Structures are given as C-alpha cells and as structure tokens.
Amino acid sequence: MERKFRSIDLPKPPAEAFNKNRPAGKLLQTQVAHLRKALTKHYADVMALLAIDLREIRTEGDVSEYARKVMAILHPHGGRPRI
C-alpha cells in the first residue's frame, strides 16, 4: 500500500536570515561536529574502495559488486526491497 504524505507549506525565510560572513552559532557548530562524526563512520569503507585499482574491475560481476559497495555508502537506506 502506498503511503500518502501531506505537504506542509513553509514561508520563505527573509533574505537577511542567512549571512555567510556571520560567525556560526553553537547550534551550527554542533551540526558540523555531527556531520564529521557521520563521515568518520564511512571513512574506512570509502578508503578501501578508493584503493581498488579500477583496471582490476574487468567483468560485469566485478562492476556489479563495486557499484553495490559504493551505493551502499552513498545511499545507506537503499531503495525499495526486492520481492
């Protein structure tokens, strides 16, 4: 069964709401720390994939396996489960 979601219209923030030269507050600094922590969880996996010599990927099976590993990092929640 397909789920339907109601959209919520949000007002557009005023132009002065963002100032790229304004010092970041504690909330934004905390968000950056959380982003860094999320990246470190994938660091070893990314480095292992980057270490693979692409010339060693020769068959469609090799490509499939490499793409599966890359996509698992880029899209950890995956797509719809296959039935």
Domain assignment of residue 37, yes or no: no
Which tokens in the block code for residue 80?
A: 């719809």
Q: Greater confidence, 5 or 13?
A: 13
* Residue 75 maps to a domain: yes
Q: Is residue 38 part of a domain?
A: no
* Of 10 and 4, more confident: 10
Is 15 among the domain residues?
Answer: no
Confidence of residue 49 (pLDDT cuts 50, 70, 90): very high
Confidence of residue 83 (pLDDT cuts 50, 70, 90): very low
Q: Would you say 68 and 45 are in contact if contact means Cβ atoms under 8 Å apart?
A: no
- Whole-prediction pTM value? 0.55
User: SS3 of 47, please?
Assistant: helix
Q: Residue 67: count other Cβ atoms within 10 Å of its Cβ.
A: 11
Structural tokens at position 21:
């030269």
Domain that holds residue 64: 43-83
What total number of domains does the chain contain?
1
Mean pLDDT computed over 2-8: 80
